[in-house]
């Protein structure tokens, strides 16, 4: 599925929305103001081989804004009153009060409200997921990046991960998200409209993160190995990890040039810091660096909360009838335009 095009009718969405708890701890009722404080008061369990135990099934769904809204006047944290108002509004929008009467809204929008799973809770009191720079905003792009974007608009193929792939001469003009390939990184670890579940498992020398949206698993070695050669490029980059105390630090580079994250591609470098800060929560942080795209590095902080939900297959290609519709619709538009010229 996608928020702007009816492209993927995934059976996993229905399953994830109707799943019953499987014995895991329920999500925290009150969001933490500062996860780093909680981390100092709680000792993470250890695996049988002595590493911090991150294992569990988590969700990062949240209504916390990505960047800091203008109406908070630069404040880092929401007030309790603001949180209550946001959550009430989210509940109304996801319930009967936010649904269109009759079938018109269902036809005009990509999906009706049944399919969405954005969440109705603020999982942190912070006013944005962007925590660095301190203003809670993504840094400006470099002049070089803006020039690339202008050139990119002239290319026949589209490298982005969003919904609005440019053109429909071929499926290659559509985004990698629409084509059921990947959201890329760090998009794959960030909340979206639905299927925001992750399962972390560990073994000696490895940490694996199963991603529900579009499926797939990141297998991160923690055995001290180096990155593969820079000539080897991957959709999700090449990740190697190591432990710093209770924190898993993951260094990822060697991205392909076939996918973009806010204008960054093959020069993207990520450093993730994953810390279990309580029996039901992980503090996930990622620093995004690409000096050819951003004027300075910037960092996201996203709580991952145990929900008791299970993981389900995201059968993306099997339901991707929208791609056929997009391409056939474009051919019909071309026929109509040719007929109008006669």
| pLDDT tens profile 128-164 | 999 999 999 999 999 999 998 888 766 655 566 654 4
Quote the number of domains for the chain.
1
Written as six digits, the tokens of 231 are 């000539």
Q: What is the pLDDT of residues 159-207, one digit of tens each?
A: 666 544 457 788 877 888 888 888 899 999 999 888 999 999 999 999 9
283 within domain boundaries = yes
Cβ neighbour number for residue 127 with a 10 Å cutoff: 24
Written as six digits, the tokens of 285 are 């942080």
CA distance 232 to 305: 34
162 within domain boundaries = yes
CA distance 158 to 124: 35
CA distance 140 to 129: 17
Cβ neighbour number for residue 290 with a 10 Å cutoff: 21
248 within domain boundaries = yes
CA-nearest of 229, 277, 256, 241 to 35 is 277
3-state helix, strand, coil in the chain (%, to 5): 25, 25, 50
4 within domain boundaries = no
113 within domain boundaries = yes
6 within domain boundaries = no
The DSSP bridge partners found for residue 239 are: 252
Give whichever of 5-9, 76-80, 336-340 has the largest mean pLDDT: 76-80
The DSSP bridge partners found for residue 250 are: 241, 272
- pLDDT of 20 over the 70 cut: no
- The pTM assigned to this predicted structure is 0.81
Task: Give backbone dihedrals phi and psi of 135, rounded to 5 degrees, phi first.
Answer: -80, 0
Cβ neighbour number for residue 170 with a 10 Å cutoff: 11
pLDDT at 321: 78
337 within domain boundaries = yes
Enter the DSSP assignment of 219. E
3 within domain boundaries = no
The domain in which residue 227 lies consists of: 11-341
């Amino acid at each position: 599925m996608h928020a702007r095009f009816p492209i993927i009718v995934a059976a996993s969405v229905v399953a994830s929305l109707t799943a019953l708890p499987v014995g895991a701890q329920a999500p925290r009722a009150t969001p933490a103001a500062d996860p780093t404080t909680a981390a100092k008061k709680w000792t993470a369990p250890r695996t049988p081989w002595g590493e911090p135990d991150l294992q569990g099934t988590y969700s990062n769904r949240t209504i916390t804004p990505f960047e800091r809204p203008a109406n908070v006047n630069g404040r880092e944290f929401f007030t309790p009153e603001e949180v209550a108002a946001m959550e009430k509004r989210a509940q109304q929008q996801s319930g009967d009060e936010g649904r269109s009467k009759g079938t018109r809204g269902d036809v005009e929008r990509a999906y009706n409200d049944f399919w969405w799973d954005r969440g109705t809770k603020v999982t942190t009191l912070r006013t944005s997921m962007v925590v660095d720079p301190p203003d809670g905003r993504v840094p400006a792009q470099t002049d070089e990046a803006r020039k690339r974007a202008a050139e990119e608009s002239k290319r026949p193929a589209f490298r982005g991960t969003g919904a609005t792939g440019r053109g429909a001469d071929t499926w290659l003009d559509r985004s990698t998200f629409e084509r059921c390939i990947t959201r890329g990184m760090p998009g794959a670890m960030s909340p979206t409209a639905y299927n925001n579940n992750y399962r972390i498992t560990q073994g000696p020398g490895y940490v694996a993160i199963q991603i529900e949206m579009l499926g797939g698993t990141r297998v991160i070695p923690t055995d001290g190995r180096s990155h593969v050669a820079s000539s080897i490029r991957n959709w999700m980059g090449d990740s190697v990890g190591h432990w710093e105390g209770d924190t898993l630090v993951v260094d990822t580079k060697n991205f392909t040039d076939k996918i973009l994250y806010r204008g960054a591609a093959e020069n993207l470098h990520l450093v993730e810091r994953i810390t279990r800060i309580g029996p039901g929560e992980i503090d996930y942080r990622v620093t995004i660096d690409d000096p050819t795209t951003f004027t300075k590095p910037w960092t996201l902080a996203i709580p991952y909360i145990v929900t008791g939900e299970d993981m389900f297959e995201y059968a993306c290609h099997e339901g991707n009838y929208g791609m056929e519709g997009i391409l056939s619709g474009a051919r019909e538009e071309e026929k109509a335009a040719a007929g109008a010229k006669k």
